[in-house]
Amino acid sequence: DIRASRRVFFAAWPDAALRERLASLASRLQHHCGGRTPVIDNLHLTLGFLGNVPTAEIASLQTLTERLTLPTGEWTLDRYGYFHKPRLAWLGGPPTATLTLWHARLGEALQASDRSLPAWHDFRPHVTLLRHAEKAPPATLAAPEWTWPLTRLTLVESILDGTRPIYRVLAECPATA
Ligand code: 2AM
């Protein structure tokens, strides 16, 4: 594999039960909003998007990820939202203390290695349920209230080679109680 750069991001992945619930919610939301549902195994929460990173620098990002110290905690998803420009419909919720801490620790570690997260000031945690959505989720549609146990942070490579991205885990950091 001789690619000069990799498209990478940091994320948390839902457990199997939550993944199933999110996937069926995405299918129901599609009736209201149109658009395309993600592949079930691709559902995730992005904690930071780095974009293209030179391949030679991936090893140091893997080490950085594995060396993070993260507490376990929870995040609550309780509202729908819509990003107009990219036409994404999502389920999310305000960052909890744990999520804010994860984001901050990640930002600090990246800064210490002369990197930074874009849109640092505007962390809006969400799980994308529909891409190319024609409409925002209707305001009358009640969102569920689901708890996401935060147990590990993942460094992921996104391979855009076809119609759906393929995500490949590059490194993981288990949260410690
Ligand atoms: P999204 O779900 O809101 O589109 C892999 O592409 C992940 O990184 C997706 O979860 C995507 O968030 C996020 N992402 C892609 N491009 C991004 C960008 N330019 N800024 C921030 N996040 C981005």
pLDDT tens digits for range 47-103:
999 999 999 999 999 999 999 999 999 999 999 999 999 999 999 999 999 999 999
Atom 17, ligand 1: which residue's CA is nearest? 49
Q: Are strands 79-83 and 73-77 parallel, antiparallel or unpaired?
A: unpaired
pLDDT of res. 153? 98
Q: What is the pLDDT of residue 120?
A: 53
| Substitution site in 13, 45, 46 for ligand 1 pocket (most atoms within 8 Å of beta carbon) | 46
Q: Which residue type is seen at 57?
A: E
Buried b or exposed e, range 118-130, using 16+ CB within 10 angstroms: eeeeebebbbbbb
Asked if 158 and 7 touch (Cβ cutoff 8 Å), the reply is yes
CATH number, domain with residue 53: 3.90.1140.10
**pLDDT tens digit string along 112-148?**
998 887 755 578 999 999 999 999 999 999 999 999 9
Chain centre distance of CA 52: 17
Q: Which domain holds residue 77?
A: 5-174
- Please choose, from the candidates 45, 122, 127, the residue with its C-alpha nearest in 3D space to the C-alpha of residue 89: 127
Q: How many CA atoms lie within 13 A of 90 on its CB side?
A: 20
Predicted local confidence at residue 13, as pLDDT: 97
Which residues, in sequence order, are CB contacts of 140 under 8 Å at separation 6+? Answer: none
CA of 46 to the centre of ligand 1 (A): 7
What residue's CA is closest to ligand 1, atom 6?
Answer: 158
Confidence of residue 24 (pLDDT cuts 50, 70, 90): very high
- The CB of 45 under 6 Å from ligand 1? The reply is no
Residue type, position 110, single letter? L
Looking at the structure of the chain, the number of domains it has is: 1
CA proximity to 46, closest of 108, 118, 146, 126 = 126
pLDDT (0 to 100) of residue 2: 82
